[in-house]
Amino acid sequence: MLISTPDVEEPYFHNYEMEAIRLGIQLRKYIKEDIPVINDSKDAVRYLHRRYALIGWQPRNCVTAAHNLKISQATKVYSQLLWDQDWVDEQGKRI
């Protein structure tokens, strides 16, 4: 039986958070924008801060709020059904 302990789990969590930061950096390069990459793991941010520019730490509640906002925006942008409905609504307003 494997029992999860903080000593066992912490290195995995740290590595996952560092990978999330690296993915954010790659996305930033892909879209060619100088936007900050924010993470809620102080250790991961400290470890990668010297290597990458524009990364920072925010408390979990701030990161969650930003994440939820970005998800809702992305969902609206990429949902063809919503896009079509907004277009129809906008055309109706102009007539």
Query: How far apart, in Å, are the Cα atoms of 14 and each of 20, 27, 30, 47?
Result: 10, 20, 24, 10
Count of domains observed in the chain: 1
Question: Given a cut of 70, is residue 71 above it in pLDDT?
Answer: no
For residue 75, give its domain range: 6-94
Residue 61: the pLDDT is 81
Query: Whole-angstrom Cα distance, residue 72 to residue 61?
Result: 17
The pLDDT mean for the chain works out to: 76
- Identity of the amino acid at 82: L
Cβ(36)–Cβ(56) below 8 Å: yes
Residue 64, domain member (yes or no) = yes
Residue 23, domain member (yes or no) = yes
Structure-block tokens of residue 10:
């912490």
pTM: 0.60
